[in-house]
A and B are shown apart, each in its own frame.
Chain A
Amino acid sequence: MQLGYELIKNQFFFRKELIERVGWFIRLRWLFVCAGFMGSITGHLVWRPFPLGCFLNIFLFIAVYNLLFYLFYAWLNASRPKEERFYVFFANCQIGFDLLALGLMIHFTGGIHSPFLFFILLHVIISGILLPPPSCFVYGLLMLTALGTTILLQHSGLLASQPVLFHSMPTVHAPEMPQTLFLFVIDVALVLVTAALTTSIKISLRTKGRELLSVSKDLEANNKKLNALYEMVKEMGMRTGLQELMDAATRHGARIMGVKACAVKLLDDQRKKLRFTSTYGLSGDYIAKKAVDIDKSVINRRIIEGQVYAVGRLQEQDQFQYPEDMQKEGIASMACLPLRVDKMIFGVFCVYSDVADAFAESDIRFFTLMSDLTALAIENLRSELNKTWFLQKTAHQLRSPLNAVHSMLRTMRKGYLGGIDPRQEESLIRCEKRIEALGILIGDLLGLGIRRTGIDPKQFHPVKVGQLVERLLPMYRAQADEKGIKIEYAIQEPLPAVMGDDALFDDLFSNLISNAVKYTPKGGLIDIVVRTEGTGRVRWEIQDTGIGIPEEEMPHLFSEFFRGQNAKAITEDGTGLGLVIVKEILDQLNGTIQVNSTMGKGTCMTLRFPIA
């Protein structure tokens, strides 16, 4: 926002120009004085009639007053605060003295015929730009008056005429009235037109500056609001609980809109009542009031039907169910919008201000954007939670009868319902085994569902992956030994810890090791290598000499319930959820997986985790 905005911000565009130019003029004047001295001497050398003494006096006069200006300027700069009126006064002084010097120069170089006459225009323009509008007229007219008076005095013989500089004949000629008057009129016209033009350009620039200022201010305000809105959306996106999300929405909402309070009210399942679900800045008493009955509240019904509702002065309205409460709460104006996704409206988003008429049309437009984004965030999370809930519920419902059957089988097998013979016992054991397999599938589903709600990364702690491998491997040794599979492992120490959760790592590695054992034929080899990779990662490699994964099936490897054709052929056991769980866990741990496989030769799974 440096781009001229700071300059314009306090309407300093011209003031700042003035302050800068005041010093600049002093430096310019030194140059002018030097050039004047040298020019005068040169003029005198090449053209004898040149009035050297008169010129040197004038430049000396300029040098003296410029020195005074220089000292005054140094003092002015040292003083704080910089008051604009001093600078205006100073600029006026400078222009006044310059015009006096110019007047003398014009007078001594032939008055109305002087080649320096045009310098008047220069001063008119400068004063027109730097000083308030009438200044250039005042200075212009002053100079014209001085010039006119001189002409009159010379014409009447009261003042001696001066020789015209650089005239072929350095003659002194008394002004001849018609010609002189004509020249004077031209000068007057020139000065006035210049003053008028400068003034009009300056006024137009100043107006544009003001417009720019106002636009910049609006832009800056909007920019701030949009940034805040971005922060709000970002925070809402990070929330995993509905209540936390809505609390973030109301907290940010109140801050962004600059109001005392903000609330989200959601419709109940019957769409009859609106209840406060999250509030910010409202008192407990106010929130504790009963739910708003849609049928009784005209306003809320309209909002639920999709209208925007904004009231500038609440005390003048009598449509509220609880007007006295609002008064007690100190609410003077409010705006309420429907929370909607597409055409579905599921609640109301309100902001409350303690000042009347707090919401302009632009505020409402912005609030609409905010409420739409909030609705989207709520709906997204809700559908996510619903999916997870459904999955959990389904898994639980499936598991309940299984658990009951399993419990009853065990009770029976262990003789609590009376003695059983060995054949019966064997059947019961087989029943239990089959039910256990089904239980694993459902357990995977249940675990996946729970995991999808996410484990709070705040609970993560440094985990030693090396130790984990050593702890888990024995659990798979027996299974591997049965198939004559050799498991080798190498852990390159020292191995840095990675951030995570023991249970997640357990699940992750159990899934991968059991897969390797399951899909490696008899007499195979499983090689596990854990080591540091680069500076920031731990790499975990499981290489087997298993059946491999067909290339065309690679893209589906992490899809729910997917099992490779050759995997199905080798064993019926398998839920098709193992790698889905692996992927879910890796996502939570910020880990990655790379799968390289050759059909019939084996598979290598490479996992990488950022170190703690």
Chain B
Amino acid sequence: MERNADILIIDDDRDLVSSMRTVLESKSYQVRIAGDGKIGYARIQEKTPDLIILDVMMTTDTEGFDLAYKLRNQVAYQDIPILMVTSFPKHMAEQGPEKFQHIMGESWPVTQFLEKPIDPEELLTAVANLLAEVD
């Protein structure tokens, strides 16, 4: 399953998406893309992906989080691993749960963070690990 896993990238930066796509497709993953949370949600409804790579700030500053929470609250989608890509410095991302919890008021919805700029090896490792966990 791992080789042909279906990965949905939801990010509004086309160049970044194309880089990630190149890297992921080099390992024969099936990659679908969406430019914002709304389209992303529609793609998920069309077909449930094995993994979602999600940006934080898109149309709104918290669109990524909003979508992540929405998915976590639905039985059908709550188990999809989410890899969140962010421009926050690493330590900010790590202390995220506490920092953002008061805004969100719920538990942290993201499975793992990956800091931008994307390093191909890091991306592949993270994706492989997340997919392996699901298996």
Contacts and interface: CB of A to CB of B under 8 A. Distances in A.
Interface of A: 241, 393, 396, 399-408, 410-411, 414, 416-417, 439, 443, 446-447, 450, 455, 459, 503, 506
A506 B94 CA distance: 14
A410 B120 contact: yes
Name which of B99, B117, B118 has the most chain A CB atoms within 10 A of its CB. Answer: B117
B120 A414 contact: yes
B25 to A, nearest CB: 9
Contacts of A405: 15
Name which of A402, A403, A407 has the most chain B CB atoms within 10 A of its CB. Answer: A407
B22 A404 contact: no
A443 B91 CA distance: 12
29 contacts: A241-B102, A393-B61, A396-B87, A399-B87, A400-B16, A401-B13, A401-B15, A402-B117, A403-B13, A403-B16, A403-B117, A406-B116, A406-B117, A407-B19, A407-B20, A408-B15, A408-B16, A408-B18, A410-B118, A410-B119, A411-B22, A411-B120, A414-B120, A416-B22, A416-B23, A416-B26, A446-B87, A455-B99, A503-B92
A403 B120 CA distance: 13
Given A403-B16, A459-B98, A416 B92 contact: no
B16 to A, nearest CB: 4
Contacts of A407: 15-16, 19-20, 116-118
Nearest to A507: B91
B118 to A, nearest CB: 4
Contacts of B116: 399, 403, 406-407
Contacts of B18: 408
Contacts of A396: 57, 87
B74 interface: no
Interface size class of B (residues with CB under 8 A): 20 to 34
B125 interface: no
Nearest to B20: A407
Contacts of B98: 459
Interface in B3-53: 13, 15-16, 18-20, 22-23, 26
B87 A416 contact: no
Given A407-B16, A407-B20, A450-B92, 4 more contacts: A399-B116, A400-B13, A410-B19, A411-B19
A426 to B, nearest CB: 19
Contacts, number: 68
B interface majority secondary structure: helix
A404 B19 contact: yes
Given A446-B87, A446-B89, A503-B91, A404 B120 contact: no
A371 B34 CA distance: 47
A503 B23 contact: no
A443 B89 contact: yes
A244 B4 CA distance: 48
A443 B90 CA distance: 11
Nearest to A451: B92
Q: Shortest 10 CB-CB distances between A and B: which pairs?
A: A406-B117, A404-B15, A403-B116, A404-B16, A407-B118, A407-B19, A503-B91, A403-B117, A407-B117, A411-B19
Interface in B101-132: 102, 116-121
A241 B100 CA distance: 13
Nearest to B25: A416
Contacts of A416: 22-23, 26, 120
A503 B22 CA distance: 34
A459 B98 CA distance: 9
B23 A411 contact: yes
Interface in B59-83: 61
A66 B92 CA distance: 88
A396 B85 CA distance: 13
Nearest to A392: B61
A417 B22 contact: yes
A540 to B, nearest CB: 20
Contact of A403 (B61, B87, B102): B87
A241 B105 CA distance: 14
Contacts of A241: 102
